[in-house]
Amino acid sequence: MQIRKMPMPPYDAILNAFTTLLVTVDPPGLAPLFLALTAGMNRQERHQVAIRACLISLGVLVLFALAGSSILSVLGITIPAFRVAGGMLLFVIAFEMIFERRQQRHKRSAERAITRDMIHNIAAFPLAIPLTAGPGAISATLLLSGTASAPGARLVMVAILLVVILITYLVFVLAERIDRFLGETGRSILTRLLGLLLSALAVQFVADGARELIQNG
């Protein structure tokens, strides 16, 4: 019996998906927020918060990766249209990263959680949602999963999400060292570079979506 191989996405598509998701999740930018949210906790408690937050984030993103097309279909939204809208949203996020507005917005989310006495649930809110699996990461996941219709491509997409969340978990665990190593200047430079990269990817999403909309009439 001959075994048929599942079609796999090309390496450049895999690299593009990985880069887009890694930049939108932005693990280095989450490190100081993780430290602020878990202030006063010991290492074991921080480890538990990191695990729970990453599992919740992974579950949310995998859900949209596997069922994203179905969700859009139910709402009557085409993939090209969502690609244009999602690309615009990613560009806004890139703009905030370049001009350091995203970090300020995330800090406000963290402060609201603390003032509402939700310390025991910070793994779910705001650490998992909306800081890790936020609108940008969900939009990027939907955009990328829309082009991955084959089963093999969907599996690759899930694997990429797993790697990105694993990197995020490692950043949480090593948050103190990373924050101390980068410093304020290092974080600022890294955030701006990632924002510039994300803006280029966002423009590409909009261009591809607009071209498909024009071709489909």
pLDDT digits 0-9 by tens, 116-129 = 344 457 888 778 98
Cα-based distances in Å from 149 to 7, 15, 22:
10, 17, 21
Q: Which domain holds residue 72?
A: 14-19+28-33+41-216
Classify residue 173: in a domain, yes or no: yes
Of 58 and 209, more confident: 58
Q: What is the pLDDT of residue 162?
A: 97
Question: How many domains, the chain?
Answer: 1
What are 167-182's pLDDT values in tens digits?
Answer: 999 999 998 887 778 7
Classify residue 63: in a domain, yes or no: yes
122, 49 in Cβ contact below 8 A? yes
Among 200, 60, 187, CA closest to 132: 60
Q: Per-residue confidence at 1, pLDDT binned at 50, 70, 90?
A: very low
CA atoms within 13 A on the CB side of 145: 25
Quote the CA–CA distance of 109 and 104 in Å, as a whole number: 9
DSSP annotation of 133: S
Average pLDDT over residues 115-143: 75
Quote the CA–CA distance of 131 and 32 in Å, as a whole number: 12
Of 43 and 104, more confident: 43
Angle between helix axes 135-146 and 79-98 (nearest 10 degrees) is 140
Classify residue 110: in a domain, yes or no: yes
Q: What is the pLDDT of residue 102?
A: 57
Classify residue 77: in a domain, yes or no: yes
The answer, yes or no, to whether residue 152 has pLDDT greater than 50, is yes
- DSSP SS3 for 99: coil
Q: Is 10 left (phi over 0), alpha (psi -120 to 50) or beta?
A: beta
Quote the CA–CA distance of 207 and 195 in Å, as a whole number: 18
Q: What is the pTM of this model?
A: 0.72
The answer, yes or no, to whether residue 95 has pLDDT greater than 80, is yes
Of 161 and 35, more confident: 161
Q: What is the pLDDT of residue 150?
A: 72
Among 114, 141, 140, 143, CA closest to 127: 114
Classify residue 2: in a domain, yes or no: no
